[in-house]
Chain A
């Protein structure tokens, strides 16, 4: 040890070595390798868990949002024909022969429904065309074009062929286009979706506006509460903290029911307003099953996520800062604005980010008390997951949401700095 230091001192700016002549860097790395290996083994279970339950599903979701082989896998010959011809090529007898063969095979393998569904995503009302023609496919004889058109003359529609050409590619950006109300015409140009199908952009906008509003309300309501909790003696503040955390501890259904009891047309709030004469019986305020319901209920539910990070930032701020500001001549408002508020910024940032991100992805509350005008984008994602079974579109919508949140996160980092974030 003594010679090592001596040597280090002697070599000065040259490469440092240990007493037995090994380079210092290597020796240090070797000495630390064991500790590192052990640390890695300790976190390995969690790492595996996260990979299996989080990273893989997210990856699958992202993959699904650009990949759907419902058509390509079950209509191999037609897919082949599309691959060999230019876009816009008139379907000839070869094409119809391939179609007939594929329809027959798919009908026998009972995958014709899958194919129909896939085409139906892009062009409404085509699923039944596939299933009904599929039933007759066994009897098709050449010339196939005539036979198929006899079975159903909708097969001559060039839009249908254009759509089939698009869905014949397993990888396509169509779901992402659909998620932002765009589509592709037969020539492959990107155009706006038909007016009656443009809902997603509006829903994204609504989701972000409502989440922003909820974040703002939570900050407005949570800041004074967090400050109160942070300045009270620990015993009292712990007691009050229970009230803050109550939303976590009550069942969702109980909470929702109580919101309904309070807010509905014949509910407590309206009855009180009518009884006190503030509003007339005929103009009861609609506060639930609409946006107001979503906003009120979600603000209540997400409030703790604002209060907790704020509290954890405020608690260690000694009162002497504000006192110092006051003694230096600042009014209480100036002292708050210039001394207290800046020190709570990490808490505001963390709370706002948490509430906003949770709010953007919230699903159950809008579904229960949101009515039609209170539905958010997650409700549409759920709809595509459970009812329309268009998982690719659901995945694309979710991916857009994820992207937007990541951009937000990045913006936050640029504007405030991620190290200025204190989550607890």
Chain B
């Protein structure tokens, strides 16, 4: 359920800037509109300002400039406890001196809810995360994954419209993390809440989100649904940050009809789709996903340019093969091919010709 009702703008950041020390801007001109019921992920390297944005939304940091609106009303001056936003912290922040039940009861008590209502809601929330039997335990008596579920239940128990999660799965092992990703996604869909999720795990971002905002250096580099982000990155940062990516530097030789010819530094010509190059003679970095490169010319469009390559390393990984090649002087050009019928095992030193469809090679800005 992709809720791309973005124009009604449940959460709106408008020209938001943030500086902690008055010297550097940690968040530079953030504009972001999040629709009701959307699952939006903030993805980016460490220090790119994701947590800061979340904290401004939750009310623990004030925006140095700009306006944040929640459901149409500006919340810059609303204190955190009046915002009604559920929040899951990276270290869970379960109150250690209270039992699980008391932890969940806390947000209901401060809202002055009656005992029977509280018990009903607590039970519902615990059942939701399959932790019904743990109400009397202390957080310290739970495993990491169980604590995570309780933190989730506590953030949801008072029925907030908006839930913020700051790397909620960062402390879990891979298997548990994948399981929890599924559960969170499932909860999001069944409850219809809006989720703003922070992570620096791109796999997590790709599998869970309706849209992903890629952060770098205090700016959103690209805001798009996962498939678009992966297949049509708008600049070199996004291309290299999301997924594996072969990069070939060169100069634009010809550009026409949404197709560019790029001359590599070693003189070869390749095909690409221009993204942020516009003129002949511009420096560019061509980005190609490893799984989109072909060994077999018959799989490519008739006029596609082919290029010579030499196999350096061949790694058998079961379901896929990973071949590292020397291409146009670059020694870390990687091709991933599926282990299908008739797929050949290649030897180092072998000479091959490779190519790709022009729309899969994207001519981006030089880094």
Contacts and interface: CB of A to CB of B under 8 A. Distances in A.
A320 interface: yes
Contacts of B31: none
B91 A318 contact: yes
Contact of A334 (B93, B94, B110): B110
Interface string B100-132: 000000110011000000000000000000000
Interface string B74-86: 0000011101111
Contact of B95 (A321, A327, A329, A332): A321
Contact of A321 (B93, B154, B155): B93
Contacts of A338: 106
Residue from B58, B84, B110 whose CB has the most chain A CB atoms within 10 Å:
B110
A324 B91 CA distance: 11
Given A328-B154, A338-B106, A320 B93 contact: yes
A174 B58 CA distance: 70
A330 B106 contact: yes
Nearest to A319: B60
Interface in A299-327: 318, 320-321, 323-327
A339 interface: yes
A128 interface: no
A331 interface: yes
Given A326-B80, A327-B86, A329-B111, A343 B97 contact: yes
B89 interface: yes
B110 A330 contact: yes
B68 interface: no
Contacts of A327: 58-59, 80-81, 83, 85-87, 155
B258 interface: no
- What does DSSP make chain A's interface, helix, strand, loop or mixed? helix
Interface in A196-237: none
B96 interface: yes
B215 interface: no
A142 interface: no
B158 interface: yes
A231 to B, nearest CB: 13
Nearest to B97: A342
B97 A324 contact: no
A342 B83 CA distance: 25
A325 B91 contact: no
B106 A325 contact: yes
A331 B79 CA distance: 9
Contacts of A318: 91, 93
Contacts of B87: 323-324, 327
Contact of A339 (B59, B89, B95): B95
Given A318-B91, A320-B91, A328 B110 contact: yes
A328 B155 CA distance: 7
A329 B93 contact: no
A331 B60 contact: no
A422 to B, nearest CB: 14
Residue from A330, A332, A342 whose CB has the most chain B CB atoms within 10 Å:
A330
A110 B183 CA distance: 94
B11 to A, nearest CB: 15
A323 B93 contact: yes
A325 B96 CA distance: 12
A339 B95 CA distance: 7
Nearest to B94: A324
Contact of B158 (A326, A328, A339): A328
Contact of B60 (A323, A329, A334): A323
A329 B81 CA distance: 4
B173 to A, nearest CB: 22
Interface string B17-34: 000000000000000000
Contact of A329 (B58, B89, B96, B158): B158
Nearest to A324: B93
Residue from A326, A329, A331, A335 whose CB has the most chain B CB atoms within 10 Å:
A329
The 10 closest A-B pairs by CB, nearest first: A328-B107, A324-B93, A327-B87, A320-B93, A326-B80, A342-B97, A330-B110, A329-B110, A320-B89, A326-B81
